[in-house]
Each structure stands twice: as structure tokens, then as C-alpha cells.
Structure 1
Amino acid sequence: MKLLVNIDVPDLDEAEAFYTGAFGLTPARRLGADVLELLGFASPLYLLRKDAGSAGAGRSQRDYARHWTPVHCDVVVDDLDAALARALAAGATQDSPIRQANWGRIVTLADPFGHGWCLLQFLGRGYDEIATP
């Protein structure tokens, strides 16, 4: 199996600028007028242009203000401080202070389209520090 990540955005050009600037992703190809494939993560990231107010899942409508969803993406980085500075310079907003745990460091962000992201820097053995045998 392969995981493909799709993110709705209201403007492909603005989203391309953010994701290439914040995470160093590379545009791979356009799939029609409303889809852009970005590479650089372990899974391809697809930006899907969808207008605010258009029908989402169920009875909901797309809203690009800051929102919460039970699904979000974690980006594992080697240097959390540098990655955070890069994301903020690209237009992210920081939702929380950097926190440290015995497995590593984490900070939560929002992209310019309201989607939540976490930046993680593993320390020591990473999640193995807290895994139960």
C-alpha cells in the first residue's frame, strides 16, 4: 500500500509558495487546473484547489480559517528551531510553544489555510524512548 496526502486549499499558487518555502517540497506536476503534486516527504502531497464555502464531507462547507481536525500531519526534522523559523517565514503561525519530552521536541503550527501541522525533532531513540515492550 501507499499513502497519498491530499490537502484542500483555496489558491494553488499561494499554497505552492507556502509548502515549497516552509518544507522545501518540490513541485512535480500539475494534474489539471486544480491539482498540484509536491514531492519531498515520504508520501507525495497533493494540493487540491477547492473554493471556500464549497461542499465538503457530509453537510459541512470548506472553511479556511484556523480549524481543528482529528487528522493532521507531523513533519520530522533534524533541527526544530531552523524548521520552525523556515515555516514561520513562509507564512505559518505558531500555535504552541516548543515542548520537550523524553522522545524529542514538538511544536504545533497552522498553515495559511487553517490546517494544523506538527514539527517533531526526535532525540535519543525517538519514540523508542516511550515504547512499551
Structure 2
Amino acid sequence: MQQLINIDVPDLDAAMRFYTQAFGLHVGRRLGAEVIELLGGQAPIYLLRKPEGSAAAGEDIRRYARHWSPLHLDVVVDDLDAALRSALTAGARQEGAIRGANWGRIVQIADPFGHGWCLLQFLGRGYDEIAD
């Protein structure tokens, strides 16, 4: 199975700047005027230009204010403090304090387009610290 990550954004150039600066991704290619492919992670990310107010799923319309979703993406980093500084400098908002767990450290952020993200730094054996 192959995974592709698609992220709706209202402004492709602003989104490209954010994701390349915040997460160290790079542009793979542009696919027409509506899509930018970002590479550098384990799965490609496709930024899809979708105007605010356009039809979304079901009866919903797209809004780019901060919104909650049961789905979010985690970015695993070697240095959580440095990664958080990069994300904040690029335009992310921190949502709560850095928290520790037996597997590592985590902080929640929101990108400028309302999407939630977590930055994770594994310590010790990572998730194996809590595996049965």
C-alpha cells in the first residue's frame, strides 16, 4: 500500500512557503495551477488549492480557521525544540505546552490554514517503550 497526503489550502504559494520552512520539505513539482507536490518525508504531500467557501465533504464548505478533526499528522523530529522554533517562525501556532511521555516528547501546533499537527521526538525506544 502506498500513502499520499493531500492538504487543502487556500493559497498554494503561502502553503509551499510554510511547509518547506516549517518541516524542511522541498518542491517536487507543480501539477498544473492547482497542485504542488512536496517531498522529503516518507510520503509525498500534495497541496491542493481549494478556495475558502468552496464545497467540501457532504454539505460542508471549506473554512480555513482553526478546526478540529479526528485526523491529524505527526512529524517525527530529532530535536523537538528546534523543530518547534522552525514551525513557529514559518507561521504555526503552538497549542499547549510541550508534554513528556515514556516514549518521548510531543507538542501540538496549528498551521496557518487551520490544520492540526503534532511534533514528536522519540526518546529511548520510542513507541516500543509502551508496547505490550
TM-score after normalising by structure 2: 0.99
- For 1:70-115, what per-residue CA distance to the aligned partner results, in whole angstroms no more than 9, with x for missing partners? 1110000000000000000000000110000000000000000000
SS in 2 for 1:28: strand
**Residue matched to 1:69:** 69
Count of equivalent residues? 132
**Residue matched to 2:18:** 18
1:98 aligns with 2:98: yes
Between the aligned partners of 1:96 and 1:70, the Cα distance in structure 2 is: 18
Unaligned runs of 5+ in 1: none
Unaligned runs of 5+ in 2: none
Between the aligned partners of 2:61 and 2:97, the Cα distance in structure 1 is: 31
- For 1:38-81, what per-residue CA distance to the aligned partner results, in whole angstroms no more than 9, with x for missing partners? 00110000000000000000000000000001111000000000
**Residue matched to 1:115:** 115
Between the aligned partners of 1:79 and 1:23, the Cα distance in structure 2 is: 12
SS in 1 for 2:85: helix
Give 1:6's aligned amino acid: N
Give 1:21's aligned amino acid: Q
RMSD of equivalent CA atoms: 0.4
Between the aligned partners of 2:96 and 2:119, the Cα distance in structure 1 is: 11
Between the aligned partners of 1:80 and 1:108, the Cα distance in structure 2 is: 11
Give 1:64's aligned amino acid: Y
Between the aligned partners of 1:52 and 1:126, the Cα distance in structure 2 is: 38
**Residue matched to 1:80:** 80
- Structure 1's consecutive aligned runs of 4 or more residues displaced over 6 angstroms after TM superposition are none
**Residue matched to 1:131:** 131
Give 1:66's aligned amino acid: R
